[in-house]
Amino acid sequence: MTDKQVVLGAACWTLAIAFFVDQAIVQAATTLPYSLSGNLISDLGITVCGPFTNGGYHADVCSPLHGLMDGTFVVVGLLQVIGAITTRKAWPLPHAYPGLAFLAAGGVGLALAGLAPENVNLSLHGNAASLGIDAVNIGMIILGAALLRVNPWLGTITLFAGIIGIVGAIIFFHSLGGIPIGTAERIAVYPSLAMVVVLGMYLLWKTTRTAHDAEKAAPVR
């Protein structure tokens, strides 16, 4: 029998691909030039058209589908939390528990960032986004280390994604290396969030395959 709880969590993580799909849709709808290297992801969630300034960062933003972007932050964050809670049976324990906790914390941060667009509550948005970025990357490093014991290739990829994300976060938050701010943020965010989707797909495949093998091996009555 398939573990329905694990399947639910794995499906939630797989659906987190909406972060990338919706972002592309919202970006395509912007009515002012938007640059992947020069603009922040959060600019797509700004609720009004016009100039936005945060310290030394200045952008002219007009995102008609800002509601979709902010809603995506909230939904994907919640999917991340649900997945972290419901897939715990599928992980090599106890080594993975802290990683799942960090992933859940990262999901909370992402959801809060969506509820507080940067032009509405910059302080809350910034702190929530920082939590979302740092926590998910730390979580991936812990999960990757735990996976190395049972699935070396997947553990290596997961660990690598977390490490790249941490390096990206350091560059992004401290403006290092002359890397454009949008590029630095995406290095910090994309690898680990993409890995959430990959892990969801892997757990779906593994859980359904295990259930199928168990049914084949069961004695006929």
With 0.85 as the threshold, say if the pTM is over it.
Answer: yes
pLDDT at 141: 97
| Beta-carbon count within 10 A of 211 CB | 14
220 has a pLDDT exceeding 50? no
187 has a pLDDT exceeding 70? yes
For 6: left if phi > 0, alpha if psi spans -120 to 50, otherwise beta; the answer is alpha
Angstrom CA distances, 69 to 26, 27, 100, 151, stand at 7, 9, 25, 35
**Which of 54-63, 66-75, 132-141 comes out lowest in average pLDDT?**
54-63
pLDDT at 177: 77
CA angle 113, 85, 125 (to 5 degrees): 5
pLDDT at 6: 93
Per-residue pLDDT reduced to its tens digit, 95-148: 899 999 999 999 999 999 999 999 999 999 999 999 999 999 999 999 999 999
Per-residue pLDDT reduced to its tens digit, 169-183: 999 999 887 899 999
Beta strands, E only, 3-147: 50-54, 57-61
- Tokens 């996976």 correspond to what residue? 147
CA angle 74, 135, 20 (to 5 degrees): 45
pLDDT at 210: 60
74-101 average pLDDT score: 92
Report the C-alpha gap between 161 and 195 in whole angstroms: 7
22 has a pLDDT exceeding 50? yes
Percent of the residues in the chain that have a pLDDT greater than 90, as a whole number:
83
151 has a pLDDT exceeding 70? yes
Report the C-alpha gap between 189 and 192 in whole angstroms: 6
47-56 average pLDDT score: 92
pLDDT at 95: 83
32 has a pLDDT exceeding 60? yes
Q: Over the chain, what is the mean pLDDT?
A: 92
74-80 average pLDDT score: 98
Pick from 149, 15, 3: which is nearest to 88 by CA? 3
Report the C-alpha gap between 147 and 87 in whole angstroms: 14
